[in-house]
């Protein structure tokens, strides 16, 4: 096959960097990955620049090996490339592109004062993890690097600049840095003026527009691979420069693309290290601290419920059970162990039999907690079985998301016609899907490509950049050319599952004081 008839998506997720290569029919034909993990250093959740550089290179090298094994060719070129990654956070650089601080990821909850002040100033919810909240908090602290600030971006924007030399972001990714005006398809100019006026007395030699990346909409040109970028991505020297790039997007936008959830009244839930629900809305809801307003990669407004914690605590417990299996000489692969334990959760009592778990490895904005302590608890008469134990952790992973979604669907009456699930939580067929359906009380669909997740969505956005017709909207391209014949499984939880989740959630809400006490005392 011709490599120019392919599109490549690379996504820097929280626990894995993954690349997916798709063909002209939008089917995945090769992939690569690299596992990594954030670290808590001096109270800051971060990845080092070396982590980022080596991780991207290792992921690409793995993709290159997969292409050679599956297609029998050396990967020298592709039709288009797109980079995506964890949204938000703080990555400031000086005029020579040197980092001014550590990378402060979305997971940090250190910007409460700034987020509250900006929310009041704008009349628009600014979550703690947004880049503008990090920037203003740095100003409130009087951090010494600010006079030297020249560029502020996200991890996807950073890699995109490294590969192309262009300082741009896709509009969905940009909407996690600063509020977007969906009519103008750019940063909200009125809010930007308010911010500049707020900080004018500080005397910095820049204005906000100077340091933020330029905004690009899906399908627009966003630069091409430079010779330096090619040498960075493929140190072996086989990759050719000149490959066009799609605008870099956030993992929320790629999740929307991967699940065909970019049209109004559609939605998706991405569940991995963090989980978030994205609902494309027809009108803007009122301001709620628990609801973020971002956009699709095409710029349509999206109501987002974002939770910092989802599967990390599940992964830790599965790891512990895997150690036990190894200790008694039971050889079982990691994937097989996850499948076994997830399926066992289906045998548990619907309300988890009196067990309770709080999966807060880090702080959680929806429940107003600035730090996290994973907690497992039970009443004296609880039924501590493996099935109940696993079901407890699976429901706990969705509980905070449900709290936020209730505000959107009950208080704001936001309609949802379709809900898709994707991410690692849904890898075991039917299990995570049933739990989410029980939480939302609606059918949940999972596409056969759901396991590819965000990198697949980024590859689709790269394909749209390459192969769309003139003025062809993104939703039409996805509907007609990508997902027209896509296979998906749809599952509706039964009434006992729904009632069981409701009972679990009531106990979860009532027990949040336990989590707060753990934060204060542990």
For the chain, give the percent of residues with pLDDT over 70.
Answer: 99
pLDDT value of position 14:
87
- pLDDT, mean of residues 442-464: 86
Both tokens of 503, joined, read 């009972």
Percentages of the chain per state (helix, strand, coil), in multiples of 5: 40, 20, 40
Both tokens of 412, joined, read 């704001």
pLDDT value of position 302:
93
pLDDT value of position 452:
62
pLDDT band, very low/low/confident/very high, at 448 (cuts 50, 70, 90) = confident
Q: Is residue 156 predicted with pLDDT exceeding 60?
A: yes
Domain 1-85+221-259+452-491 in this protein, CATH class = alpha beta
Q: Across-strand partners of 376?
A: 357
Spatial separation of the C-alpha atoms in residues 517 and 277, rounded to whole Å: 28
Q: Across-strand partners of 90?
A: 104
Both tokens of 360, joined, read 């807060």
Q: Is residue 248 predicted with pLDDT exceeding 90?
A: yes
Burial of 295 (0-12, 13-18, 19+ CB in 10 A): buried
Q: How many CA atoms lie within 13 A of 80 on its CB side?
A: 25
pLDDT value of position 327:
96
- pLDDT, mean of residues 433-444: 92
Dihedrals phi, psi of 379, to nearest 5 degrees: -85, 160
Spatial separation of the C-alpha atoms in residues 292 and 130, rounded to whole Å: 10
E strand map for 254-374? 266-271, 275-280, 292-295, 301-307, 355-358
Residue bearing tokens 């987020």? 115
Picking from 305-319, 323-337, 443-457, which range would have the lowest pLDDT averaged per residue?
Answer: 443-457
pLDDT value of position 175:
96
- According to CATH, where is 3.30.420.40 located in the chain? 1-85+221-259+452-491, 312-448+492-521
- pLDDT, mean of residues 509-521: 96
Please write the tens of the pLDDT for every residue from 57-92.
Answer: 999 999 999 999 999 999 999 999 999 999 999 999
pLDDT band, very low/low/confident/very high, at 449 (cuts 50, 70, 90) = low
Please write the tens of the pLDDT for every residue from 383-428.
Answer: 999 999 999 999 999 999 999 999 888 888 887 777 888 888 998 9
Beta carbons within 8 Å of 249's beta carbon, 6+ residues apart: 82, 84, 156, 169, 170, 172, 173, 218, 257, 297, 457, 458, 461
- pLDDT, mean of residues 121-147: 96
**Architecture in CATH of 312-448+492-521:** 2-Layer Sandwich (3.30)
pLDDT value of position 2:
87
Please write the tens of the pLDDT for every residue from 460-470.
Answer: 999 999 999 98
Average pLDDT over all residues of the chain: 94
User: Residue 258, SS3?
Assistant: helix
Contact 454, 258 (CB under 8 A): yes
Contact 96, 77 (CB under 8 A): no
pLDDT value of position 487:
82
pLDDT value of position 257:
93
Torsion, Cα of 281, 286, 290, 295 (10° steps): 30
Query: pTM for this structure?
Result: 0.83
pLDDT band, very low/low/confident/very high, at 450 (cuts 50, 70, 90) = low
Q: Across-strand partners of 302?
A: 280, 294
Q: Across-strand partners of 141?
A: none
Spatial separation of the C-alpha atoms in residues 366 and 371, rounded to whole Å: 12
Q: Is residue 280 predicted with pLDDT exceeding 70?
A: yes
Residues 188-205, buried b or exposed e (16+ Cβ, 10 A)?
A: beebbeebeeebeeeebe
- pLDDT, mean of residues 358-373: 92
Q: 216 vs 223, 404, 424, 432, 437, CA distance in Å?
A: 11, 29, 29, 34, 35
Spatial separation of the C-alpha atoms in residues 397 and 402, rounded to whole Å: 10
pLDDT band, very low/low/confident/very high, at 447 (cuts 50, 70, 90) = confident
Residue bearing tokens 């790891």? 319
- pLDDT, mean of residues 12-23: 94
């Amino acid at each position: 096959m011709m490599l120019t008839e392919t599109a490549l998506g690379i996504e820097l997720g929280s626990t894995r960097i993954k690349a997916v290569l798709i063909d002209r029919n939008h089917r995945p034909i090769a992939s690569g990955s690299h596992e990594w993990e954030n670290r808590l250093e001096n109270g800051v959740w971060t990845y080092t620049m070396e982590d980022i550089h080596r991780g991207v290179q290792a992921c690409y090298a793995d993709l290159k090996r997969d292409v050679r094994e599956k297609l029998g060719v050396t990967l020298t070129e592709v039709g288009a490339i797109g980079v995506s990654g964890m949204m938000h956070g703080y990555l400031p650089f000086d005029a020579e592109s040197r980092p001014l601080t550590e990378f402060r990821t979305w997971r940090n909850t250190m910007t409460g004062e700034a987020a509250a002040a900006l929310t009041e100033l704008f009349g628009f919810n600014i979550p703690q993890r947004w880049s503008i909240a990090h920037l203003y908090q740095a100003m409130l602290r009087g951090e010494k690097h600010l006079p030297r600030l020249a560029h502020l971006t996200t991890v996807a924007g950073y890699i995109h600049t490294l590969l192309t030399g262009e300082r741009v972001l896709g509009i969905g990714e940009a909407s996690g840095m600063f509020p977007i005006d969906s009519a103008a398809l750019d940063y909200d100019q009125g809010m930007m003026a308010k911010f500049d006026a707020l900080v004018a007395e500080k005397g910095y030699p820049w204005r906000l527009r100077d340091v933020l990346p330029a905004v690009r909409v899906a399908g627009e040109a966003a630069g091409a691979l430079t010779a330096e970028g090619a040498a960075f991505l493929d140190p072996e020297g086989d990759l050719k420069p000149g490959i066009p790039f799609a605008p870099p997007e956030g993992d929320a936008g790629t999740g929307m693309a991967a699940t065909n959830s970019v049209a109004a009244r559609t939605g998706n839930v991405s569940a991995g290290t963090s989980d978030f629900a994205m609902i494309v809305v027809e009108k803007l809801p009122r301001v709620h601290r628990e609801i973020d307003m971002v956009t699709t990669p095409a710029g349509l407004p999206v109501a987002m419920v974002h939770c910092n914690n989802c599967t990390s605590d599940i992964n830790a417990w599965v790891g512990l059970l895997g150690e036990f299996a190894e200790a008694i000489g039971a050889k079982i692969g990691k994937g097989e162990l996850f499948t076994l334990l997830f399926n066992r959760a289906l045998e548990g009592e619907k309300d988890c039999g009196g067990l309770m778990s709080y999966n807060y490895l880090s702080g959680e904005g929806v429940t107003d907690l600035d730090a996290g302590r994973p907690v497992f608890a039970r009443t004296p008469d609880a039924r501590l079985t493996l099935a109940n134990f696993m079901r407890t952790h699976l429901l706990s992973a969705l509980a905070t998301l449900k709290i936020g979604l209730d505000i959107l669907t009950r208080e704001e009456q936001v309609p949802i016609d379709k809900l898709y699930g994707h991410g690692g939580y849904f890898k075991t067929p039917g299990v995570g899907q049933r739990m989410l359906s029980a939480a939302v009380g609606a059918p949940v669909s999972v596409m056969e490509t759901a396991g590819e997740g965000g990198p697949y969505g980024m590859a689709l956005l790269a394909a749209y950049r390459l192969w769309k017709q003139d003025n062809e909207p993104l939703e039409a391209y996805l509907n007609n050319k990508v997902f027209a014949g896509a296979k998906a499984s749809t599952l509706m939880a039964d009434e006992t599952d729904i009632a069981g989740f409701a009972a679990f959630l009531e106990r979860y809400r009532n027990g949040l004081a336990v989590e707060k006490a753990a934060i204060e005392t542990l």
